[in-house]
A and B are shown apart, each in its own frame.
Chain A
Amino acid sequence: MNMGVTSKKQLLELYHKMLLIRRFEEKAGQLYGMGHIGGFCHLYIGQEAIVVGIDSIKKYGDQNITSYRDHGHMLACGMDPKMVMAELTGRSTGYSKGKGGSMHMFSKSEGFYGGHGIVGAQVPLGAGIAFANKYKKNKRVCFTYFGEGAANQGQVYEAFNMASLWKLPVVFVIENNQYAMGTSMVRASSTEEMFARGLAFNIPGKAVNGMNVLDVAKDASAAADHCRSGKGPFILEMKTYRYRGHSMSDPAKYRTREEVQKIREEKDPIDTLRSLLIKKHKISEKEFKAKDAEIKAIVTEASDFALNSPEPDIQELWTDVYAD
Chain B
Amino acid sequence: MKTEILMPSLSPTMEEGSLAKWYVSPGDNVKPGDIIADIETDKALMEYESIEEGTIVELVVKEGTENIKVNSLIAIIETEGGEGVKDENNVVTKKDEVLDINKSEEVLSAEEEVRSVTANLKDEKTIKQEVNQNESISELTVREAINSAIAEEMRHNEDVFLMGEEVGEYQGAYKVSQGLLEEFGSDRVIDTPITEHGFTGLAIGAAFAGIRPIVEFMTFNFAMQALDQIINSAAKTNYMSGGQINCPIVFRGPNGAAARVAAQHSQDFASLYASIPGLKVIQPFSAEDAKGLLKAAIRENNPVIFLENEILYGKSFQANISSNLVIPIGKAKTVSTGDDVTIISYGIGMMHTLEADKKLKELGINAEIIDLRTIRPIDFDTIIDSVKKTNRCITVEESFPVCSIGSYVGSQIMIRAFDYLDAPVLNCTGKDVPMPYAENLEKAALITSDEIVFSVKQVLYKD
Contacts and interface: CB of A to CB of B under 8 A. Distances in A.
Interface of A: 63, 65, 94-100, 104-108, 113-118, 121, 123-133, 135-136, 154-155, 157-159, 161-162, 165, 319-324
A96 B187 CA distance: 34
Interface string B157-196: 0000100000000000000000000000001000011010
B241 A106 contact: yes
B202 A131 contact: yes
Contacts of A108: 244-245
Contacts of A127: 198, 201-202, 205
B242 A96 contact: yes
B118 interface: no
B243 interface: yes
A124 B203 CA distance: 8
Given A132-B205, A321-B238, A322-B302, A158 B198 contact: yes
A129 B193 contact: no
A104 B238 contact: no
A121 B244 contact: no
Given A100-B240, A100-B241, A124-B229, A323 B246 contact: yes
B205 A96 contact: no
Top-7 shortest CB links A-B: A128-B205, A158-B198, A124-B201, A132-B209, A323-B246, A125-B205, A97-B242
12 contacts: A96-B241, A97-B242, A106-B241, A113-B209, A114-B245, A117-B232, A127-B202, A132-B205, A133-B209, A135-B187, A320-B241, A323-B246
B35 interface: no
Interface string B384-410: 000000000000000000000000000
Given A125-B202, A126-B205, 13 more contacts: A65-B205, A97-B243, A108-B245, A114-B240, A125-B205, A128-B207, A131-B202, A133-B209, A158-B197, A158-B198, A159-B201, A322-B278, A323-B243
B334 interface: no
A107 B395 CA distance: 45
B241 A165 contact: no
Contacts, number: 151
Contact of B244 (A65, A106, A130, A321): A106
Interface string B200-241: 111111111111000000000000000011001100011111
Contacts of B239: 99, 320-321
A127 B204 CA distance: 10
Nearest to A144: B205
A270 to B, nearest CB: 31
Interface of B: 161, 187, 192-193, 195, 197-211, 228-229, 232-233, 237-248, 277-278, 280, 301-302
Contacts of A97: 242-243
Contacts of A135: 161, 187, 206, 211
B202 A162 contact: yes
Contacts of A124: 197-202, 204-205, 229
B154 to A, nearest CB: 13
B209 A161 contact: no
A273 B104 CA distance: 88
A123 B210 CA distance: 18
Given A121-B228, A121-B229, A155-B197, A96 B202 contact: no
Chain A: interface secondary structure? mixed
Contact of B242 (A121, A157, A162, A320): A320
Given A136-B211, A319-B243, A323-B238, A129 B195 contact: no
Residue among B199, B210, B232 having the largest count of chain A Cβ atoms under 10 Å: B199
Contacts of B200: 124
Nearest to A65: B205
B209 A129 contact: yes
Nearest to A127: B202
Contact of B233 (A94, A121, A136): A121
A229 B111 CA distance: 57
A162 B243 CA distance: 29
B195 A128 contact: no
A162 B198 contact: yes
B111 to A, nearest CB: 43
Contacts of B211: 132, 135-136
Given A118-B228, A125-B202, A127-B202, A165 B193 contact: yes
A266 B392 CA distance: 78
A157 B202 CA distance: 12
A321 B234 CA distance: 11
A128 B244 contact: no
Contacts of B187: 135
A104 B239 CA distance: 10
B242 A128 contact: no
Nearest to A317: B239
B243 A113 contact: no
A158 B192 CA distance: 11
Contacts of B198: 124, 127, 155, 157-159, 161-162
B443 to A, nearest CB: 38
A106 B193 contact: no
Nearest to B194: A158
A132 B206 contact: yes
Nearest to B158: A135
Nearest to B301: A323
Contact of A113 (B161, B201, B205, B229): B205
Contacts of A133: 209
B384 to A, nearest CB: 22
A321 B277 contact: yes
Nearest to B280: A322
Given A162-B202, A165-B193, A129 B208 contact: yes
B89 to A, nearest CB: 60
Given A106-B245, A124-B201, A162 B195 contact: yes
